[in-house]
Structure 1
Amino acid sequence: MSVTGPDIEAAARRLHGHVRRTPILPLELGAFGSHAQLTLKLELLQHSGSFKARGAFNALLSMDVPKAGVVAASGGNHGAAVAFAAQSLGHVAEIFVPSLAAKAKIARIESFGAKVHIIPGAYADALKAAEAHQAATGAIGIHAYDAPATIAGQGTLARELDAQMTQLDTVLVAVGGGGLIGGIAAWFGGRVNVVGVEPKNCPTLESAFRAKAPVDVEVGGVAADSLGAKRIGTLPFAIAKDFVEGVVLVEDDAIVAAQGALWRELRLASEPGGATALAALLSGAYKPAVGEKIAVILCGGNVDPASLTTI
């Protein structure tokens, strides 16, 4: 099952009044040393601190939620989004997070009233535990990225961006499990260049493109708590094959440098995953044409601001 423009339009109607229309920030020519025309999409200002609120609300509003409530596995941001959406809609939620999840993200989830289970290992281990809980209790699962409702919800970000920018050549977007890039690519459908940016330590989409199918990858690095899926989702990959221009890889040092630049120059507190798309430009992994009109998605801000002062 694919996700199409009409699915994203329906999601946008469903989400009205539940999610924020996040602003864009057009930058001056030469910003961050680039000769492109850069615009930042400030999705880190979204409810619960990331784009994930879009998919979580769309999923919950598309289904009948049982008394047992909802369950999700997450590196942090999806869990916070599901917890926030569930609380807003009057449902109970239990979130399973891997032990590598940042303390700030665990606290964020708990602040929205969800019960948190910390599972040793990575995201894949948390997912197994969440699936076992779902089977035992009858709670309904909300997948972080490999589900049509989730992808369509994330696609509303692209629909919104499309209305905010009259001219756009390229969108740079961080990739983990693929829900965000899948939704963005589904909306634009080849009308603009959609380029994925991945940490070299979590290259899910790049590895899938090389193998011509989703494959398992090793997970690690500074952005593993948000971009640390073990493999790209089946549905996002099907969309990416048709509508994603390509993928570039960035080192952890470049991601941290992008975090620092956002804080020093704009006072924007971005988590590593949220700064990964910008890292492609700052590091030279993505080389824009002169005057290229680029939207950079800053997709998450669940970080302890105190940690940014040492970068």
Structure 2
Amino acid sequence: MPDNPLSKVMISGAAGQLGSALCLSAPPSIELCALSRADCDISDSTAVEAALDAQRPDLLINAAAYTAVDRAEEESAAAFAANAEAPGTLARACAARGIRFFHVSTDFVFDGLRSSPYPEDAATAPLGVYGESKRAGEQATLDSGADCLILRTGWVYSHDGQNFMRTMLRLHGSHDEISVVADQVGTPTDALSLAGALWAAAHRPGLSGIYHWSDAGVCSWYDFALAIGEEAFALGLLPKVAAVKPIRTKDYPTPAQRPAYSVLDKTRSWQDFEIPPTHWRSQLRAVLTRLKEAEHGC
């Protein structure tokens, strides 16, 4: 790992899925300042500046976001406040103080019309308010003048919190059959894997700009749901698995349109972060194992 004087890191959104993973996986040499929404309103420039002046971190990682994709269609002001205005506020405050800034973005900045992985320089064309707000956050970060790195990802899940894996576990346990969209394709991302990528980048001070990260491989939501049931059953987390029925997006209408193809090209991240890719199914097994340990202590 490159020599780097990184010693103190502030994490905004520390109580969320990614923030919790960042705190859990932080290198022991790092002093953490973990900020939840209750600790600091990151859309309030005065509060942000006060927090930075009090703590003087070497790096601020913004793990906070508005992620309710469908609700964003009716709550655009809230989505833009959290996903566009707040990152800009954080980035400008960091720029004024010489603090490095990391921001996490999404595959939803793309329209999903490609059939090959999206590189970092692909044109953005979000399909809904959530994606638009995240793209605006990227631009605000880049315009801030901060030493910044933006990491796009997608399909993030973990052993705790609210996410697709947890929902599928519940449905496998309570239903005989579940219907899952099979024509939306991407890559599941373990929150701890994503956190590991951010920590790797944090120790490489020369890295900046936009990067992509997810686990390796490609699947549909249907494939993911099927694998969740199979792996959870094998680990003894489920007494049985439901039959998983593939359906089309048009058969499951939602307020927000989602990209049909959102696979990200991670080649640059794998090289620059010096992290070997791990297939999403292996990561799923690891996440479910953590869940079993958390719930059963074994």
TM-score (norm 1): 0.30
Bigger radius of gyration, 1 or 2? Answer: 2
**How does the TM-score come out when normalised to structure 2?**
0.31
